[in-house]
Amino acid sequence: MDPLHPPPADLRPASVEPEQSAQTESLDHYKEALRARFPGAEEIFRGAERRLRTRQTAAKAGATTAAIAVLAASLWVLDPVYRSETFATAVGQTHSHLLGDGSTVALNTGSTLDVQWRLRSRQLRLARGEAMFRVAHGVRDFIVHTPQASVRDIGTAFNVRLDEADGKRGVVVTVVEGAVEVRTGTEAAVLTAGQTVFAAQSGMEPPHATDLAVSTAWQRGKLVFDGTPLHRAVDEMRRYHTASIVLDIPDAQASKLRLSGEFDHRRIDTLLDLLPTILPVRLQRRPDGEVIITAKTVPVGRP
């Protein structure tokens, strides 16, 4: 073979191929190293997609967290209701209830109480009648609303009664234990044990001391009168009597007739029958159960 004129490639001896194969394998090693160091287009696209999905997931998680935080803050401010219940008594009935938080409420005759359990407060509304509250302490406010005022518990036990005094509709709040804050649209006062206050839409009277044995006598089934004008005593009897009681005596005259004593509010008819033996009045009963009280007249010529 002439070394100056080698044969064509396809006529080279087969003994050259192993050397070429070794060189190729050496190059393949470098190619793999380059691929590992510098990924190809497909791998670059796949990596980009993975990073995009990771960012999107993080963004969604962040947005969800922010939305939850906004919702929680809104719920705290709005104080939404999550449960409601209503308690009521008929005329002549009284009843006690244990509330879900451990507080107790006793309803007097002809009363209606709406209770709302809220996220951060306990809101109650006395629509009519009278109720005694013994409050279990908790982080949530305990507030009783009436048409004329709201009562926020600071202590333990208090009585709330919708009443009418001197022609003004209002609410009488009496504190038995602890303290409460009574608030109208324009005024506020803190009452402590043994104090009572009358609040109307026109304003609030100054708080004053009261006889708790008289104020809470209804819980013992009693009506207590201590020199009470007859028209006021009859108003109290009406609360427990299903039939009508008519006082057919002018107020000026009735106010001079005063009643004292302790009586069973479950036996109003017995008390009515006793009136003519205590005061100068007459009693008339009609077939429908209505009771009419009139002044006892003095015969002409009798001193």
Residue 185 confidence (pLDDT) above 60? yes
Is 49 found in the same domain as 148? no
Is the four-CA dihedral 263, 264, 269, 273 of positive or negative sign? negative
Does residue 273 sit within a domain? yes
Is 133 found in the same domain as 232? no
Nearest CA to 266 out of 92, 90, 96, 110 is that of: 92
Residue 160 confidence (pLDDT) above 90? yes
Is 165 found in the same domain as 195? yes
Number of domains observed in the structure of the chain? 3
- By the 8 A CB rule, do 158 and 165 touch? no
Does residue 3 sit within a domain? no
- By the 8 A CB rule, do 272 and 246 touch? no
What CATH number is given to the structural domain containing 111? 2.60.120.1440
- Band the pLDDT of 29: cuts 50, 70, 90: low
Distance CA 223, CA 109 (A): 12
Is 210 found in the same domain as 90? yes
Provide the pLDDT for residue 71.
45
Does residue 67 sit within a domain? yes
Q: In what order do the strands lie in the sheet with 281-285?
A: 245-248, 291-295, 281-285
Does residue 5 sit within a domain? no
Does residue 9 sit within a domain? no
Provide the pLDDT for residue 7.
52
Is 73 found in the same domain as 87? no
Is 119 found in the same domain as 199? yes
Provide the pLDDT for residue 53.
76
Is 107 found in the same domain as 168? yes
Q: Can you give the residue range of the structural domain that contains 97?
A: 81-214
Distance CA 101, CA 270 (A): 40
Tell me the average pLDDT across 71-83. 64
Among 166, 181, 214, the domain-final residue is 214
Among 185, 214, 243, the domain-final residue is 214
What CATH number is given to the structural domain containing 252? 3.55.50.30
Does residue 302 sit within a domain? no
Is 178 found in the same domain as 88? yes
Residue 65 confidence (pLDDT) above 80? no
Does residue 236 sit within a domain? yes
Q: Tens of pLDDT along 192-231?
A: 999 999 999 888 999 999 999 999 999 999 999 999 999 9
Provide the pLDDT for residue 136.
94
Provide the pLDDT for residue 155.
77
Among 214, 237, 252, the domain-final residue is 214
Q: Tens of pLDDT along 106-145?
A: 999 999 999 999 998 999 999 999 999 999 988 899 999 9
- Band the pLDDT of 47: cuts 50, 70, 90: low
pTM of the model: 0.72
Distance CA 144, CA 124 (A): 5
Distance CA 66, CA 283 (A): 74
- By the 8 A CB rule, do 125 and 150 touch? no
Distance CA 244, CA 286 (A): 10
Is 188 found in the same domain as 204? yes
Is 159 found in the same domain as 108? yes
Torsion-angle region of 194 (φ positive above 0: left; ψ -120 to 50: alpha; else: beta): left
Provide the pLDDT for residue 76.
43
Is 191 found in the same domain as 253? no
Surface-to-core class of residue 4, CB atoms within 10 Å of its CB (0-12 exposed, 13-18 middle, 19+ buried): exposed
- By the 8 A CB rule, do 81 and 121 touch? no
Is 227 found in the same domain as 123? no
Provide the pLDDT for residue 201.
84
